[in-house]
Amino acid sequence: MEANDSKTKCKPSILKIKSYGRHAFTRVLNETIRDPALGGLARAILCYALSMPENWQIHSWQLKQEFGCGRLAIRKAMRELQDAGYAQRVLRRDDGEITGSAWLIRESPKLRWPWSDGE
């Protein structure tokens, strides 16, 4: 087959499968995956977190186990997500006393946090 054959020119370099049947899947915005503000681990953590149920809580020990890296690498990746607007750490309070914290994740920094007025 010649290089200028129309069949060669039209072959896709990426195969997208449109039917997933009954398998669960996660869709992520292309701009999110390609965001230059995020390193590889931060992108992986973001995609991993977005694939989890809404009530799933992020634990650093679980991320360390899942991605096979250390505490500092996880901390750096979470800071990247926070600085880029994908993650926010909120404090849990009981009678005004801080009892812990939790990470909230969103697919795009353009999306509003549920409690915000226009952020």
Q: Cα–Cα distance between 34 and 101 in angstroms, integer?
A: 29
Tell me the DSSP string of 63-111: HHHHHT--HHHHHHHHHHHHHHTSEEEEEEEETTEEEEEEEEE-S-TTS
pLDDT value at 14 more than 90? no
Q: Give just the sign of the alpha carbon dihedral 90, 74, 46, 32.
A: positive
What are the structure tokens assigned to 79, written together? 């800071």
Residue 22's pLDDT is what?
Answer: 66
Q: Strand pairing partners for 90? A: 102
In tens, the pLDDT along 24-38 reads 788 888 999 999 999
User: What is the pTM for the complete model shown?
Assistant: 0.74
In tens, the pLDDT along 53-111 reads 888 888 888 999 999 999 999 999 999 999 999 998 888 888 888 888 888 888 899 88
| Domains of the chain: residue spans and CATH | 26-105 (1.10.10.10)
